[in-house]
Amino acid sequence: MALISNMEKLSNQIGYLLLQDDGAVIGSGGDLENDERSANIFMELLHLAESVDDNFMPNSSCERISIVYDDHSYNISMSNHRIYIVKLKNAPRGGTVYGLTNNGSNVVFSESETSGVASILT
């Protein structure tokens, strides 16, 4: 699968999960390799996000969720009945920021001059 190959090329990638929309694991690697427990937790989070009252948050069907910690982030994107979860190290590198920054900038995937990897999950 080309997308898995691209996910593995992210220089700041610590791990990834690729799930079917029913939660079945299609692919995994790094810290998240064969991590069905985390896959189940992410699926519960997605179900929770989908259950938000439309009066509170109209058009609540989300396309991307980011969970940010000081040193890493989980970035969840949905596309073509698949769920892409990437665990990224949050670190500035050579003037290009990867992951999510603490100042609120939402830079989930950024193009790198050296690797040529651009926004994969849009």
- DSSP labels for 63-122? SEEEEE-SSEEEEEEEETTEEEEEEEE-EEETTEEES--TTS---SS---TTT-------
Q: Which of 109, 81, 80, 104 is nearest to 12 (CA)?
A: 109
Residue 35 confidence class, pLDDT cut points 50, 70, 90: very high
User: Maximum Cα–Cα distance for the chain, whole Å?
Assistant: 45
Q: Check whether 14 has a pLDDT greater than 60.
A: yes
Q: Check whether 40 has a pLDDT greater than 80.
A: yes
- Phi first, then psi: give them for residue 112, nearest 5 degrees: -110, 135
The residue extents of the domains of the chain are 2-98
Q: Please tell me the predicted confidence (pLDDT) of residue 80.
A: 85
pLDDT digits (tens, 9 = 90+) for 48-97: 888 877 777 666 566 788 898 888 999 999 888 899 999 999 865 555 54
- Under a CB-based contact definition with an 8 Å cutoff, are residues 27 and 1 in contact? yes
Containing H/E element for 35? none
- Phi first, then psi: give them for residue 2, nearest 5 degrees: -65, -40
What is the CATH class of 2-98?
Answer: alpha beta
Containing H/E element for 21? none
Q: Check whether 105 has a pLDDT greater than 60.
A: no
Residue 12 confidence class, pLDDT cut points 50, 70, 90: confident
- Under a CB-based contact definition with an 8 Å cutoff, are residues 10 and 80 in contact? no
